[in-house]
Amino acid sequence: MAEVATVGPVGEGGDGDTSVLHQLKVTVDKLYEFRDHYFEQHGIDQAAQKAEDVKAEVSKAIKLLDELQEICPNKAQVYMQRGRALNVTSDFDPEALDMLSKAVKLDPSLVEAWNNLGECYWKKGDVEAAKNCFSGALTKSRNKVSLRNLSMVLRQLGTDPVDRLKNIQESVTVAKEAVQLDVNDGTSWFVLGNAYLSVYFSGDQNLQILKQCMSAYNQAEGDVVAKSNPDLHFNKATVLRYEEQFQLALMHWDQASALDPTWDQPSMKQTQLLTYLSKVADMVHHKGKLKAKRLQSMLKSLSEKDLGPYGGGSFESSTGKKVPLESTTLANLATGLNKNKLVLGKVVCSVTTEETIPFTFALTDKEGTCFAVTLYNVAPNYGTIVGDSVAIPEPFLQHVDFQHKDKKFQFSLIRVETPLVLVVNSRKLGLDKQAPTVLACTTMSE
């Protein structure tokens, strides 16, 4: 770290006091700059060394702070800056908690001390105490750090599903305010993206929410500090996975692993997705590995009656409008949304994975063409079974075709946002087959 200027004469409230306070702050600010801009000065191949390098810089900073605090009469500032220095790593530090607690007792107006104290409690696992610190800081100043930290905390509070959902919605509101205070701060955009991701996993598996989440993450990536955060790439990969942009998801999990080689979650998620894609490709290619005789018997049984309420050549939209439908084959579908088209086929198999979203099955039509189908917002414990006839109105189609390292994936995929549009065995699925709006899982670390 760079050396600071020589300390001038010290006097209570005089120029010497101001100079020392400035040096205390600069010393710790440089420590955070070293951490946040590490990869601007070091290659990504040194990522495994980052934590140790930061700890070494902390030791240097503490030594300098020890010298400066001897000539600084403002003990609140001394405690705050020492607490900040010890709080720079991701680990909980009891001394940092002690220093910051002393700082806010001596000077309750120190917003930065309250924010760091809240982060200490967060690392310790005391979420309620962390919330009190951030909320208290906001009564003194509406600042982006308190707001985005409060957003993170809110998503961890509440045992009742209704309360948790309310907290998640509030977390979006405060994260938006943090962004509005500084639209160039990538960390605030990252936290807003995480808030949207929590909304998605709260049960509302709406593609529009994922798009809002992705937009926030893209904004975050424009900031060099946020871009170096492995959590950003991990969470962005999660969104890309559910947007079914599989190749990009794998790339961002790769980046998360590169930025933090000690973190095993990204490689675990990669393995899960690669296993899933391999299973889907295999089931589509082999049409569920059904025996030819059984498959032909199933396909021959398909008839107009399997269309159920869609058999009349139209369906009623949510607005009550009649929408015309034309039956077609899987092979004749175009990439993207196929408006006014209807496909019918037999389920030949489903894919069992560790993740419950989405429910995935393979559908084969009368011509023998087989596509994968991903079904979102489906109720727990519901899924189609082999032999079910399924009609899908206005199917959204994409073709998966890419190679990741030594593995190649190639298959066609229909995405269905809600089971309510499906007709299974000639009957329209009811509300009992749609997932209720309850918290399904939590987001990753921030």
Which of 4-8, 14-18, 71-75 ranks highest by mean pLDDT? 71-75
Integer CA distances (angstroms), 287 to 279, 362, 368, 370, 429, in order: 12, 7, 9, 6, 24
Per-residue pLDDT tens for 24-61? 899 999 999 999 999 999 999 999 999 999 999 999 99
Which of 60-64, 198-202, 215-219 ranks highest by mean pLDDT? 215-219
Return the closest-CA partner of residue 358 out of 161, 199, 207.
Answer: 207
Return the closest-CA partner of residue 34 out of 10, 15, 61, 13.
Answer: 61
Does position 71 have pLDDT exceeding 70, yes or no? yes
In this predicted structure, what is the pLDDT of residue 282?
95
C-alpha–C-alpha distance, residues 349 and 74, integer Å: 71
Per-residue pLDDT tens for 289-298? 999 999 999 9
C-alpha–C-alpha distance, residues 256 and 239, integer Å: 14
The model's confidence at residue 345, banded by pLDDT at 50, 70 and 90, is very high
In this predicted structure, what is the pLDDT of residue 204?
63
In this predicted structure, what is the pLDDT of residue 446?
60
In this predicted structure, what is the pLDDT of residue 7?
31
The model's confidence at residue 17, banded by pLDDT at 50, 70 and 90, is low
In this predicted structure, what is the pLDDT of residue 4?
30
The domains of the chain, with CATH numbers, are 15-239 (1.25.40.10), 278-433 (2.40.50.550)
- What DSSP letter does each residue of 108-161 carry, written as one string? TT-HHHHHHHHHHHHHHT-HHHHHHHHHHHHHH---HHHHHHHHHHHTT--SSH
